[in-house]
């Protein structure tokens, strides 16, 4: 069995049992006092962003007040859902729930287009005793939840500080809900031990240091990466956190780059699409005001990392001082808190081109042409192995299989779902020293020269006529056509009477004025020539119409579901 592991050294201060993000906040409030802990750049209040700041001391006092209010409402272990917009108040609400001994459930305020079903499903699943929000969203949240007591954290009065019991490290800290696009939302159960371990792994892997580094993030705080980057790692490492709203980034990506410029020693993260989006949308005049030489790490993760995207982003911002070695390719998932592996510091992520046909057949063989994959590096203080997804047995080196993970950051299962938990978490063989099993990630990958290369998702694999096709390869091919809007394609398989067939859904480029019929024929020919695959259907939609996740990524699962139920048909362009 080939297993890779990379021990990450402990943080300078050893975090013993009984710690949580909330107890660490108190420690930093004593050490850092009136230094800034959280900055929220509110672009709704001002076009250039009105900075709302909280010092470590002020944050600790506000968290204390919210915790005291919650202690009078709910008992330890009951759930406290956070339904608020991106803000410093979200940080207060989340940490207040942890300090009161409640199980936090990071969610979002009602009104997020296309996601109210997911919100309702998560609330029904976790049955919160109390819901935390802000005064601005109070009425909408109370109407939507209709049951639990609702508390506006920005209206809670100050209170006298008090001593709070230290948590059991194996008590549940929060539930991280995964996407509910193809099934009802599932809450990953994460303990204080899990989340502190992963926050420390992230801090060590990305070069975080108290006072000299800060995190900058527009990722939603209810997402796994957004929460650890925006709250968890800063609490573990004593770093300042700078937050933007996701919509502020999507409206004008230069805002993210400007925040990086204004934050010496910045560490940030985004999915692959965001880097390509920024490179194409930030103007030359905006670049004149960017200074990116002090960026420590730019993490690219949560979807396949494309070599062309790294090159495009570096070409766009290298003149602003961005160092190529700041790029860090990463792999992770909510079931492991978030971070699993990362490329090393001081050099660009490694890229390897593999023979496309042999990779589709399950074997990674370097070739002059084919599919180029970007390494996701080595595990951050945990172990990774590649296994047969059916038998669980380790595959041979160089073979593609399911990525499996073992470490202290792996969650304890799904909330209220013992059967699903047993099928995913803690699978044998158990480690003889730690007793830990393996997490079945559902992701496909290969270990090559000691590094992890992610090839795709098991559930996204397109299998037609007995041949495997990775959807991102098909999407890259179709997006080369001028009729297709960049970063808008979704390739997936559907059931047909004689097996599976391939469908591509995409958006028409804004400046493409010709009929799409000719483009459809071109795309069919390109996919046939490049992949030996006949497309069952090509669906052109208007710009902005392809289903996306709440952070702006294309959702293949939602595309497949919308295609199957016919809801895409009425929006199809002729």
Domain boundary among 458, 484, 515: 458
> CA Rg, the chain, in Å?
23
Q: 521: helix, coil or strand? A: helix
Q: What is the pLDDT of residue 183?
A: 56
For tokens 């371990």, the residue is 197
74 and 161: one domain? Answer: yes
Q: How confident is the model at residue 567 (pLDDT cuts 50, 70, 90)?
A: confident
In this predicted structure, the answer to whether residue 466 has a pLDDT above a threshold of 80 is: no
Q: What is the pLDDT of residue 185?
A: 80
Domain boundary among 458, 480, 509: 458
Q: Is the dihedral of CA 473, 474, 478, 484 positive or negative?
A: negative
CATH number, domain of 395, equals: 2.30.38.10
Residues 265-298: tens digit of each pLDDT? 999 999 988 999 999 999 999 999 999 999 999 9
- 351: tokens are 């890229």
Share of the chain above pLDDT 90, in %: 72
As a whole number, mean pLDDT of residues 427-448 equals 91
In this predicted structure, the answer to whether residue 87 has a pLDDT above a threshold of 90 is: yes
What's the CA gap between 203 and 13, in Å, rounded? 12
Residues 484-500: tens digit of each pLDDT? 998 889 999 998 888 88
For tokens 């496909």, the residue is 444
State the burial class of residue 3 (Cβ atoms within 10 Å of its Cβ: 0-12, 13-18, 19+).
Answer: middle
422 and 490: one domain? Answer: no
In this predicted structure, the answer to whether residue 180 has a pLDDT above a threshold of 60 is: no
Q: Is residue 430 part of a domain?
A: yes
Cα 161 to Cα 60, 76, 128: the distances in Å are: 9, 19, 26
Residues belonging to the chain: 574
Q: What is the pLDDT of residue 513?
A: 79
Q: How confident is the model at residue 14 (pLDDT cuts 50, 70, 90)?
A: very low
What's the CA gap between 226 and 168, in Å, rounded? 25
Q: Is residue 451 part of a domain?
A: yes
Q: Is the dihedral of CA 342, 313, 346, 229 positive or negative?
A: negative
Q: What is the pLDDT of residue 532?
A: 86
155 and 96: one domain? Answer: yes
Residues 119-136: tens digit of each pLDDT? 999 999 999 999 999 999
Domain boundary among 269, 293, 314: 269
What's the CA gap between 333 and 466, in Å, rounded? 29
In this predicted structure, the answer to whether residue 360 has a pLDDT above a threshold of 60 is: yes
- 439: tokens are 């997490």
- 223: tokens are 């997402």
Q: Higher model confidence: residue 16 or residue 249?
A: 249
Q: How confident is the model at residue 367 (pLDDT cuts 50, 70, 90)?
A: very high
Cα 432 to Cα 428, 435, 437: the distances in Å are: 11, 6, 10
489 and 425: one domain? Answer: no
Cα 446 to Cα 222, 229, 245, 332, 370: the distances in Å are: 30, 27, 35, 15, 16
40 and 122: one domain? Answer: yes
Q: How confident is the model at residue 12 (pLDDT cuts 50, 70, 90)?
A: very low
* Total number of domains constituting the chain: 3
CATH number, domain of 51, equals: 3.40.50.12780
What's the CA gap between 185 and 177, in Å, rounded? 6
Q: How, if at all, do strands 401-406 and 383-387 pair?
A: antiparallel
Q: What is the pLDDT of residue 358?
A: 94
Q: How confident is the model at residue 302 (pLDDT cuts 50, 70, 90)?
A: low
Q: What is the pLDDT of residue 472?
A: 86
As a whole number, mean pLDDT of residues 406-421 equals 96
CATH number, domain of 508, equals: 3.30.300.30
Q: Is the peptide bond before 429 cis (omega within 30 degrees of 0)?
A: yes
Look up the domain containing 140 and give its range.
17-269
- Listed in sequence order, the DSSP H helices in 376-442 are 418-424
465 and 441: one domain? Answer: no
For tokens 């010496």, the residue is 264
* Residues 40, 43, 47: CA angle, nearest 5 degrees: 140
- 530: tokens are 């490049």
């Amino acid at each position: 069995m080939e297993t890779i592991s990379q021990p990450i050294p402990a943080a300078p201060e050893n975090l013993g049992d009984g710690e949580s993000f909330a107890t660490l906040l108190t420690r930093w409030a004593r050490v850092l006092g009136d230094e800034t802990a959280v900055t929220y750049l509110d672009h709704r209040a001002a076009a250039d962003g009105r900075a709302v700041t909280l010092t470590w001391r002020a944050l600790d006092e506000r968290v204390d007040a919210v915790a005291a209010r919650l202690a009078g409402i709910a008992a330890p272990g009951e759930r406290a859902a956070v339904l608020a917009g991106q803000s410093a108040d979200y940080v207060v609400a989340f940490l207040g729930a942890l300090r009161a001994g409640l199980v936090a459930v990071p969610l979002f305020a009602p009104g997020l287009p296309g996601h109210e079903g997911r919100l309702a499903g998560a609330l029904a699943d976790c049955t919160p005793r109390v819901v935390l929000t802000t005064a601005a969203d109070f009425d909408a949240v109370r109407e939507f939840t209709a049951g639990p007591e609702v508390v506006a954290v920005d209206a809670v009065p100050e209170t006298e500080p008090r001593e709070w019991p230290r948590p059991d490290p194996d008590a549940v800290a929060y539930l991280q809900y995964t996407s509910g696009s193809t099934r009802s939302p599932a809450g990953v159960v994460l303990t204080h031990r899990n989340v502190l371990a992963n926050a420390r792994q992230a801090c060590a892997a990305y070069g975080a240091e108290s006072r000299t580094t800060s995190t900058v993030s527009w990722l939603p705080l209810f997402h796994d990466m957004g929460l650890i980057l925006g709250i968890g790692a800063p609490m573990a490492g004593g770093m300042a956190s700078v937050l933007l709203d996701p919509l502020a980034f999507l409206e004008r990506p230069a805002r993210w780059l400007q925040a990086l410029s204004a934050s010496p020693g910045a560490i940030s993260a985004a999915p692959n699409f965001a880097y390509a989006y920024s490179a194409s949308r930030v103007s030359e005049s905006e670049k004149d005001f960017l200074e990116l030489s002090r960026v420590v790490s730019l993490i690219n993760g949560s979807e396949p990392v494309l070599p062309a995207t790294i090159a495009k982003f570096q070409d766009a911002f290298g003149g602003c001082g961005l160092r190529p070695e700041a790029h860090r390719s990463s792999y992770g998932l909510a079931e492991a808190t978030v971070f699993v592996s990362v490329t090393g510091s001081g050099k660009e992520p490694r890229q390897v081109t593999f023979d496309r046909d042999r990779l589709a057949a399950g074997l990674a063989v370097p070739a002059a042409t084919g599919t180029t994959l970007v390494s996701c590096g080595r595990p951050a203080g945990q172990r990774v192995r590649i296994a047969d997804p059916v038998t669980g047995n380790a595959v041979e080196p160089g073979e593609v299989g399911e990525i499996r993970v073992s470490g202290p950051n792996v969650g304890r299962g799904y909330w209220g779902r013992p059967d699903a938990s047993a099928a995913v978490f803690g699978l044998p063989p158990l480690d003889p020293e730690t007793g830990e099993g393996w997490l079945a990630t559902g992701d496909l990958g290969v270990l090559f020269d000691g590094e992890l290369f992610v090839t795709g998702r098991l559930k996204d694999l397109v299998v037609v006529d007995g041949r495997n096709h990775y959807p991102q390869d098909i999407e890259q091919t179709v997006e080369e056509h001028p009729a297709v809007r960049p970063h808008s394609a979704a390739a997936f398989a559907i059931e047909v009477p004689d097996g599976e067939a391939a469908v591509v859904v995409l958006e028409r480029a804004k400046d493409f004025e010709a009929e799409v019929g000719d483009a459809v024929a071109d795309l069919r020919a390109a996919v046939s020539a490049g992949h030996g695959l006949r497309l069952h259907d090509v669906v052109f939609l208007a710009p902005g119409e392809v289903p996306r996740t709440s952070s702006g990524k294309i959702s293949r699962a939602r595309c497949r579901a919308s295609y199957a139920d016919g809801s895409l048909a009425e929006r199809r362009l002729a």
